[in-house]
Amino acid sequence: MNYDIRLVVADDHEIFLDGLALMLSRQENIALVGQAADGRELLELVAKEAPDVVMTDIKMPRMDGIAATRELVRQNPDVRIIALSMFDEEDQIVEMLEAGAKGYLLKNADKQEILDAITSVYEDKVYYCKSTSSKLAGMIARSRFNPYKQREQVAFTDREHEIIRLICQQFTAQQIGDRIFLSKRTVEGYRTRILEKMNVRNTAGVVMYALKNNLIREEDLL
């Protein structure tokens, strides 16, 4: 069987690793080629296996995910890394992104989100967890992390600007349509085009793009 994505995972919680490995074993396009229990093992494993994507816990013994990410990026600037974190580790998530990670997931993410994250970073897109809080979005917006600076400036219409603001405020397509007198289907069409223009996968990505590119302000999220 030919696999498209070679994946390495690092985490010091054996039960979590076993569950993740079982889930990934059922995916035809992803091959889990190695597991590490700490940052040093991860560096050795990546050097040996040359994976396409790395998923690593932030807090690990011997060498944590932040230090390991910095070293992996130093060795290979194109490496695609996803940070795995607990819900209360906002500071560390920001550090991981600044160190070179291309996305992050909370450990309670569901199967589909894990697969979406792996696919996104493999395609060289940034992935923001669906559960991103307004607090974390603001922290990332103020951080040095900016994956958009080398891309061409994208133009949005006035209507798209309006819908972006409402998406960032967590309104549904139906609610947006009711507010600006459009059908739900029309709003969903706008949303699809906005995601394509921003090159993001979900609402969290829209929020982060909008903040980083000054389309909205943090106070607009409240």
Which pairing describes strands 30-36 and 53-57: parallel, antiparallel, or unpaired? unpaired
Assess if residue 147 is contained within a domain: no
**Is 2 a residue whose pLDDT tops 60?**
no
Q: What's the one-letter identity of residue 57?
A: D
pLDDT tens figures, 170-179? 999 999 999 9
- For residues 152-171, average pLDDT: 93
| Predicted confidence (pLDDT) per residue in 128-147, tens digit | 999 888 889 999 999 999 88
Q: Residue 41, class by beta-carbon neighbours within 10 Å (0-12 exposed, 13-18 middle, 19+ buried)? A: buried
Domains in the chain, number: 2
Residue 68 lies in a domain: yes
CB contact at 8 A, 52 and 29: no
Domain limits for position 197: 158-216
Q: Per residue in 55-66, pLDDT tens?
A: 999 999 989 999
Question: Looking at residue 212, which CATH number applies to its domain?
Answer: 1.10.10.10
